[in-house]
Amino acid sequence: MLALRDVQKVYRNGLIETTALAGVTVHVQRGEFVAVMGPSGSGKTTLLNVAGLLDTIDGGDLVIDGTPAARLSDDALADLRNRHIGFVFQSFNLMQDLDVYDNVDVPLRYRGLSRRERREKVEAILGRVGLTARMHHLPRQLSGGQQQRVAIARAAVGEPSLILADEPTGNLDSLTARTIVDLLEELNRGGTTIVMVTHDHELASRAGRRLHMLDGRLIDQMRPSARSLRAAHLTSFLDGFARLARLPKPVPQEVAWGPFLATVQALQAFEILAVPDEPGWFDRAQLQQVLINLVKNAHEAGSGTVELRIEPHDGGVRLQVLDRGAGMTEEVRRKALQPFYSTKKSGGGIGLALSREIVDAHGGHIALAARDGGGTVVDVWLPGRP
């Protein structure tokens, strides 16, 4: 998919020469997810710029999707880049005077596609990243996480074989960063090759392979060992256990559903089917955690868009999180809300257990059921204002 052989890149400023890449050789197979790490100035971004045909090389060979690229004309490079490579940048690089739809549409305009074909592709990818309801918003009307999801949609809309992401989570908080890497993982599962530069060791551990650079050289290549993966799972388990142990008493207050859900959607993608006009009565931070957990679990277990329905019910409010995945068996649904249930084989676990603890503390209840036509419904009831 991507091959660099003894690639060299030197920047010159008068009599001063700076070697950015010093004989780098790396092969990225089709469908891989590779993280590139290293200190500032180690050559990570230069490696991505060269791989993305944004910069030329001074020596060596570069092959993109079977095409030798080192000596192509500018027009041929532009065509190869447009058809085979998508880019995601730390600073989003969105056009501020264009809305979400038009930002995502930009790379398709160079493909010669009809307006109808472009519209179908743009609407499909915006649905996939959970931004259908915001397609006519300007970038300044979006959160940082939403802007990065627009950038990912723009990178993926043309169905490139390779996406290059340069510190895509660098300007985001840790929780939003995880949702962005979730999206990249989803694209990778669909067959897209991902190369991501990051300083974050936790996020890098989710890649299938890690490359380490220093002073323009590739000094190490690592695949996560079974031991490191077990350690990561244990860390996640212990973190969830600690959160259960120190769960504070909820402090309910009146909260308008619209702004609240907009905040949650910036962290996890879902579509809203229904929402009450009247405000809710709950601990904002704790219910946000519940929805993030439930939607994330639905994305992992399901396929397509996760949906949320909120309606007045029995003197309180009913929230339903729905997916269209394979669904859980009756035994899994029965065990999934129990604390410390293993997530590895059956899909429940700390996230659902924590959600149950929070809902219980609010005086509500939570249940799981099979969805007609396949999938799972997580049903939450919360009491109204006392």
Mean pLDDT taken over the chain: 84
Residue 192 has pLDDT above 50, yes or no: yes
Predicted local confidence at residue 344, as pLDDT = 39
- Grouping H, G, I as helix, E, B as strand and the rest as coil, residue 51 is helix
Q: How far apart are alpha carbons 113 and 118 in whole angstroms?
A: 6
pLDDT, tens digit, 9 for 90 and up, residues 301-326: 666 678 999 999 888 899 999 887 76
Q: How far apart are alpha carbons 82 and 356 in whole angstroms?
A: 47
Average of per-residue pLDDT across 192-197: 95
Q: Select from 376, 382, 262 the least CA-distant residue to 311.
A: 382
Predicted local confidence at residue 350, as pLDDT = 53
For the chain, what percentages of helix, strand and coil (3-state, to nearest 5) are there? 40, 25, 35
> For residue 245, which amino acid is it?
A
Domain boundaries, the chain: 2-224, 248-383
Partners of residue 139 on adjacent β-strands: none
* Cα–Cα distance list, 261 to 32, 132, 274, 288 (Å): 34, 14, 12, 8
- Per-residue pLDDT band for 249 (boundaries 50, 70, 90) equals confident
Place of tokens 């031991």: 227
Give how far the C-alpha of residue 106 lies from the chain's centroid of Cα atoms, to the nearest Å: 21
Q: How far apart are alpha carbons 142 and 100 in whole angstroms?
A: 9
Average of per-residue pLDDT across 268-273: 87
Higher per-residue pLDDT: 152 or 323: 152
Given 3.30.565.10, 3.90.1150.10, 3.40.250.10, 3.40.50.2300, which CATH number is that of 248-383? 3.30.565.10
The CATH fold of domain 2-224: Rossmann fold (3.40.50)
Residue 345 has pLDDT above 60, yes or no: no
Residue 349 has pLDDT above 50, yes or no: no
Predicted local confidence at residue 108, as pLDDT = 92
Predicted local confidence at residue 26, as pLDDT = 93
Predicted local confidence at residue 342, as pLDDT = 38
Average of per-residue pLDDT across 65-76: 89
- Grouping H, G, I as helix, E, B as strand and the rest as coil, residue 351 is helix
Average of per-residue pLDDT across 12-36: 91
Non-local (6+) Cβ contacts of 6 within 8 A are 23, 24, 25, 59, 60, 61
DSSP conformation letters of 165-230: EESTTTTS-HHHHHHHHHHHHHHHHTT-EEEEE-S-HHHHTTSSEEEEEETTEEEEEE---HHHHH
DSSP character at residue 132: G
